[in-house]
Amino acid sequence: MLLTDAGVATQKIADARTDPQSRFIEFSRAYGIMQAGGTIPALAGPAAKGFGLAVTLQLSFDGYAAHAEAPVPTDLLLVCGGWQPDLTLWHMAGGRSRWNAERHRIEPIGVLPQIALAGSGAGHFSKHACLLSGQDAVDRLFGAPRTPVVELTIDPAYETLDAPTPKVPRSETTEQTSYLDAGLNLIQPPDPRPSTKRSWWPFRRLEPTWSLADQPRSLGIVDVAAGVQLGGIPVESAGIVAQERTVASGDLIDAARLALLPDLRPAPPAQRVPAYLVGRFGSDPRVWLVAPAEPRILPVGALIFVNSDQTDSRHAIGAVVGHEGDGTIALIGKASPQPGEGLTLRDQGRSVAIRLIEPVAAPLSGPALSSVPSPA
């Protein structure tokens, strides 16, 4: 509904639940947004014309899976797999957890001295209970009188509970790549590998098996939850795997050691231009020292234009990339810039006059900027 108010057209909401009930569902229907109950996304890939996505939906309810529908072109596909509280710090402190099959999530169990959980990490759902649990956690840690936290939940008849995250079977005709979690993890489930087991001598059989434990890396809490639902982690082992594989204490110890002992820090590379600006402002940009016409700090990332009439980011000729002493360093992609030349910087919706002081001999990160063609 917020997207619709902002002018974004929502074509359809696919829901794995057959007949979900919620006041928000009714509100979105009043907005004219199409609802597709018992439907899951089966495949998402590049659109035929190379711009946007082509999302294929299919019916999936009560153990029945129909053939996929025709692909729907769209600019964006948003997927929500339910709520999973972040228990990383709890596991790092030695806390235990277990899989809640009804809620389809990992929840903490037991208590730890000098540690108190609050919010969804403590098992609460409503905003009211989460706020009260924060106050209760402080009271518990400081030995103050505690007030019971009352969870005021809505009857499932009016607010349908979350369903398990839908799983799309692998297709024999289409190459599909799946992943677990979101953000920076993007752990891809390994392909089933044949394992030899002796059943009746001298016969052998091949059974496809795979396990997330084979991956030599840490797992996010959502990776573990997805692994349970995909069958890669046994339900009874979910808490143990989460405790063992979501801990990043070694990284934290190394970070603390480097912070306390500056002499051990690796020397940062000598660069002033981020790699993502390579090719952004033409084929031959230069690093300049710039100054504002009024006393102010120019924010890093602010775009620079030829004059105040231009506000479209596609017409920007440069950007602020950092500060050095009392000066501001900017990357300028303008033909034949001259010291003292005036330009315009956009900051918080207003134009700020700046001027070029002098070019700076700066090592550039990544490939030489002059060797990268200007983007179309």
Instruction: Determine which helix (DSSP H) or strand (DSSP E) holds 58, and give its type and residue range.
Output: strand 53-61
**Dmax (CA) of the chain:** 88
Instruction: Determine which helix (DSSP H) or strand (DSSP E) holds 318, and give its type and residue range.
Output: strand 318-324
The Cα 313–Cα 302 span in angstroms is 10
Query: Which amino acid type is present at position 171?
Result: S
- Examine residue 164 and say whether the peptide bond preceding it is cis (omega within 30 degrees of 0): no
Query: Which amino acid type is present at position 144?
Result: A
- pLDDT tens profile 310-362: 888 888 999 999 888 778 999 999 888 999 999 999 988 889 999 999 998 75
The Cα 195–Cα 344 span in angstroms is 65
Give me the pLDDT at residue 169, please. Answer: 66
CA 327, 330, 334, 336 torsion-angle sign? positive
- In the chain, DSSP finds a helix count (H) and a strand count (E) of 7, 16
- 241 — alpha (psi -120 to 50), left (phi > 0) or beta? alpha
Q: What are phi and psi for residue 213, nearest 5 degrees?
A: -65, -15
Give the C-alpha distances (Å, rounded to integers) separating 320 from 287, 301, 330. 10, 5, 4
The Cα 307–Cα 219 span in angstroms is 49
CA 78, 80, 86, 87 torsion-angle sign? negative
Find, among 273, 216, 270, the residue nearest to 245 by Cα.
216
Q: CB-based contacts of 214: which residues, under 8 Å, 6+ apart?
A: 190
Per-residue pLDDT tens listing for the chain (376 residues)? 888 889 899 999 999 888 899 999 999 999 999 998 888 888 888 887 767 889 988 887 665 656 667 888 999 898 887 778 888 888 888 899 999 988 888 999 998 988 999 998 898 888 899 999 999 999 999 999 998 998 888 888 888 888 888 777 666 545 555 655 555 555 666 555 544 444 444 554 444 455 665 556 677 788 888 888 877 788 998 888 888 877 654 444 444 444 444 444 444 444 567 777 878 888 788 899 999 988 888 988 899 999 988 888 888 999 999 888 778 999 999 888 999 999 999 988 889 999 999 998 754 443 333 333 333 3
Q: Which residue has the tokens 């900051």?
A: 347
Stated pTM of the model? 0.56
The Cα 198–Cα 202 span in angstroms is 8
Give the C-alpha distances (Å, rounded to integers) separating 84 from 120, 122, 181. 8, 11, 11
CATH number for the segment(s) 275-371: 2.40.30.110
Domain ranges of the chain: 2-74, 84-166+180-266, 275-371
Upper half-sphere CA count for residue 300 (Cβ side, 13 Å) = 9
Give me the pLDDT at residue 164, please. Answer: 80
DSSP for 127-150? HHHHHHHHHHHHHHHTTPPP-PPP
332 close to 315: Cβ distance less than 8 angstroms: no
DSSP label of 359: E
- pLDDT tens profile 256-273: 444 444 444 444 444 567
Angle between helix 238-245 and 221-229 (nearest 10) = 150
